[in-house]
Structure 1
Amino acid sequence: MTINIEQAIIHEIAQDNEGQLRCRLRPQPLLNGQAVSLMLEELHQSYTSKSGKGFGFFGTHGDDGEANPAFANALEEYRSGNLGFVEFSALASKLLQDELGKYDFSQGGFLLMASYTHMASDYLFVALLSAKSSMTVLDDMELTQINHLDLGNIQLAARIDLTEWQADKDSRKYISFIRGRAGRKVADFFLDFMGCVEGVNPKAQNKSLMNAVEDFVAGSELTKDERQSCRDKVFEFCTERFDAGRDIDIKDLADELADSGMDSFYDFAKGGDYDLDEEFPVDKSTLRQLKKFSGTGGGVTVSFDGGHLGERVIYDPISDTLLIKGVPANLKDQLDRRLKGE
């Protein structure tokens, strides 16, 4: 068990016979300890491992979007002990119902709220789950249809780092949320019901970090292999942070590089025009460019390890060509077969 669950509850928001959304509120927290533990452990692991999450904070009426403070106020009351968990979750359900009522597309769902502790931090997990039909076999070998929560396809979920929120009111990243397949807009109503305003842009911060690393090694007296080793070290450091659910800390990264003989990265990164925060979440898809070159366009996809540039892969910007030495065996076989056929 990697998390310590305090309380969890599920409420349903569904359409009534007249097509109006209504809340069906559970009067007490979930009681089946083993089932709840297994479900939340699975959700915690899958949520933590999701890449490309957005990050934000509770906005005020002075922020973009005229954020509704009702959820944050209720959460404050719950954390201070003036409001019970069940009552707080019921208020949240009503807020979500009101927000969903503004849209024609919503069919509702099951609102899951869970308070738990992980690695000395308190979290509140909030997700709108949908039900999925499937078939099962009964004891008498008869088929029957059942509904179950679709835990493997969560699109509307957010996690609030309660410890960071209460320790640092100026933080702009204590709320993380899943971005929809089509981007931020898919989850607008879900974040609006919490009064969440997007804050830190992890992709932009990671891009700036990558640029700082490239400029740092370019201006150094390192050999080609040492430069690639520096890129690999940065990628490994950030990957370890991502796997542990922690942010990139520029000072810690600079200390890691200094231990490998690459000094002064902190002063270089913070003294330039990179606009890097001291800490920010990891975006692995962006940092992967430190190790790989890849691109797609015009029906052609190319990808290769960065260490091959200048050796197995030669780039000529004047003629706009790539020369690949040592074609991969499976690609070579396909090419040979095609040439024989023609």
Structure 2
Amino acid sequence: MAIQHIAIHIVKRDKNADPLFVKLRDEENPVSGLSGKLGDLLLNLFSEANLHKGEFGVKGDNSVAPYMEQKLGDYYDDSLEISDFIGMTRQLAENYRLILDGNVAIKGGYLVYYQYTKGDDIWFAIAIVPRRDGYDITDDDADVVESNLLEMNKLHLGAAINLSNWKLGLDSRYISFKTGQAKELRDYFENYIGCQRDKQAIKIETRRLRDAVRQHAKDLGLDDVAAQVKLDTAHAYIQQKLTKDKEPVLLSSVANAVFPDNPQEFVVHATDSFDLGEELTIDNSELKRYKKLSGNTRNINLSFDRILLGDSVVFEPADPDDEGSSDTLHISAIPATLKSAILEELAIRASEKVRVNELL
């Protein structure tokens, strides 16, 4: 990955309802001036697996081009050569200023626009970054000077557009973005990008990965128990990537973890039959569903595959109008070993009852 163009503009206010401070650059920031650490941060801002996905559109209509898509179309040709990067980003920053003029509760920040490559694709990204006031010491005179520090680790508004997929129409989810938690922030930023959020995309992709693992396990001749072990392995590996390593989840890596004997066979299967790409998006609620349903008390420990619920395992909730009723779980597909143990226990009890009666 490498950054080809970068421009940083300022559109911000310190407090709600304050006048905006606006400073737009006349020239691009020199790419050569990027420190290795900052460059790496920018390149990895949108590599997380739980980003929102979407496409351009206006009020649910993806045939209408929002302002940002229009500007991309004006400045990028069919070969994705950019005619005037600084000119385009100045117009995008001006549009951002107009949005903030109409919303005095949004503080804005440093607008970092940059173009980079990732694999064979060209991306255009925007990150709205807050600033922290601080101090630094000069090397020459050891003078204390004020310093403005960009807090890249606090980024909560940003988007990356896969220009290659957008231009060729290869994918309807070519925008990856993060918008923070507050609804007001989400709404204004999505309005600025002109992005329609595909709310189900991450759930669907996570579900497809689960189904691909289960189906491939069955194709290999594994029984239900062994197939569930594969899902447990996938769950543990993905959790590790998301929570501890904080790295993107790659299909090839999942294949190596779950099907180490022939990972490429699974990659082909998941790609061809389940339309999965190399970099996966993961929804945490769907990821939980890789695990069995389970629960225990001091005397009972029960677990079963989720796919069995409503089939061989049926739940009947208590009748809210009947105080004497209780929740009931019906299990029709009883494991042979459990059935044998139950029959053996019942036989022992029957025998003990007969002996007690004889003694009486």
TM-score by length of 2: 0.63
2:235–2:291 CA contact under 8 A, matched in 1:
no
Counterpart of 1:76 (choices 73, 86, 89) is 73
C-alpha displacement of 1:91 = 0.6
CA distance in 1, matches of 2:164, 2:249: 14
1:174, 1:238 → 2: CA distance? 25
In the alignment, is residue 9 of structure 1 matched against residue 11 of structure 2? no
Partner of 2:151: 150
Q: Tell me if the contact between 1:55 and 1:175 (Cα under 8 Å) persists in the aligned partners.
A: yes
Number of the residue aligned with 1:208: 207
* Cα distance in 2, alignment partners of residues 120 and 170 from structure 1: 14
Query: Where in structure 2 are the equivalents of 1:172-321 lying within 5 Å?
Result: 172-182=172-182, 185-199=184-198, 201-206=200-205, 208-209=207-208, 212=211, 222=223, 224-232=225-233, 281-283=280-282, 285-286=284-285, 288-289=287-288, 314-315=301-302
Q: Give the distance between the partners of 1:4 and 1:131, measured in 2 at CA.
A: 25
User: Do 1:67 and 1:192's aligned partners in 2 also have CA atoms closer than 8 Å?
Assistant: no
| TM-superposed deviation, 1:29 | 0.8
Q: Secondary structure of 1:100's match? A: helix
Q: Which amino acid aligns with 1:79?
A: Y
Letter in 1 for 2:34: A
C-alpha separation in 1, matches of 2:213 and 2:276: 19
Gaps of 5+ in 2: 305-326, 330-360
Pairwise CA RMSD of aligned residues?
4.6
Aligned with 2:301: secondary structure?
Answer: strand
Secondary structure of 1:177 counterpart: strand
Residue in 2 that maps onto 1:104: 104
- The 1-side partners of 2:224 and 2:71 are apart by 57
Contact 2:249 2:280 in 1 (8 A): yes
Tell me which amino acid in the other structure corresponds to 1:315. Answer: L
> Residue in 1 aligned with 2:342?
none
Give 1:126 shift: 0.5
> Distance between the aligned counterparts of 1:82 and 1:142, measured in 2?
42
Does the CA-based 8 Å contact 1:96-1:190 persist in structure 2?
A: no
Name the amino acid aligned to 1:209: R
What is the DSSP-based 3-state SS (H/G/I as helix, E as strand, rest coil) of the residue aligned with 2:34?
helix
State the SS of the aligned residue for 1:136.
strand
Instruction: Tell me, in whole angstroms, the C-alpha distance in 2 between the residues paired with 1:62 and 1:202.
Output: 16
Relative to structure 1, the CA distance from residue 291 to residue 143 in structure 2 (aligned partners, 3 Å threshold; closer, same or farther) is farther
Maintained 8 Å contact 2:135/2:144: yes
Deviations along 1:108-162, one digit per CA (max 9) or x if unpaired, are 2111100111211101110111110223345566655422111111011100111
Deviation of the 1:209 alpha carbon? 3.0
Could you say which residue in structure 2 is the equivalent of 1:122? 122
CA distance in 1, matches of 2:179, 2:108: 19
Does the 8 Å CA contact 2:28/2:86 hold for their aligned counterparts? yes
Amino acid at match of 1:160: I
Counterpart CA distance in 2 for 1:24 and 1:223 is: 62
User: Which stretch of the first structure deviates more once superposed, 50-59 or 155-164?
Assistant: 50-59
Where 2:128 maps in the other structure, the secondary structure is: strand
Query: C-alpha offsets along residues 167-221 of structure 1, whole Å, 9 cap, x if unaligned?
Result: 2x26321000014134x65322122112111126344214533674697579986
Alpha-carbon offset, residue 10 of structure 1: 0.5
Identity percentage over the alignment?
16
Aligned residue type for 1:57 = E
Aligned match of 1:39 = 38
Paired with 1:243 and 1:119, the residues of 2 have a C-alpha distance of: 20
Q: Single out whichever of 184-193 and 113-122 deviates more from structure 2.
A: 184-193
Do 1:124 and 1:162's aligned partners in 2 also have CA atoms closer than 8 Å? yes
Q: In 1, distance between residues paired with 2:42 and 2:19?
A: 30
CA distance 1:248–1:25, change in 2 (3 Å): same
Go from structure 1 to structure 2 and tell me whether the alpha carbon gap of 1:229 and 1:211 turns closer, same or farther (over 3 Å shift): closer
Assess if the C-alpha contact under 8 Å between 1:52 and 1:178 holds in 2.
Answer: no
Greater C-alpha radius of gyration: 2
TM-score between the two structures when normalised by the length of structure 1: 0.66
Q: Is the 8 A contact 2:179 2:189 kept in 1?
A: no
**Equivalent residue of 2:46, what SS?**
helix
Identify the residue that residue 30 of structure 1 maps to in structure 2. 29
The whole-number CA distance in structure 2 between the counterparts of 1:185 and 1:247 is 33
Is the Cα–Cα contact under 8 Å of residues 13 and 93 in structure 1 kept in the other structure? yes
Report if aligned partners of 1:68, 1:192 keep a CA contact under 8 Å in 2.
no
- Cα distance change, pair 235–121 in 1 and its aligned pair in 2 (3 A): farther
Contact 1:232 1:291 (8 Å CA) reproduced: no
Query: How many residues in Structure 1 have an aligned counterpart in Structure 2?
Result: 288
2: distance between equivalents of 1:121 and 1:239? 28
Q: Is the 8 A contact 1:67 1:197 kept in 2?
A: no
- Is 1:247–1:282's contact at 8 Å kept on the other side of the alignment? no
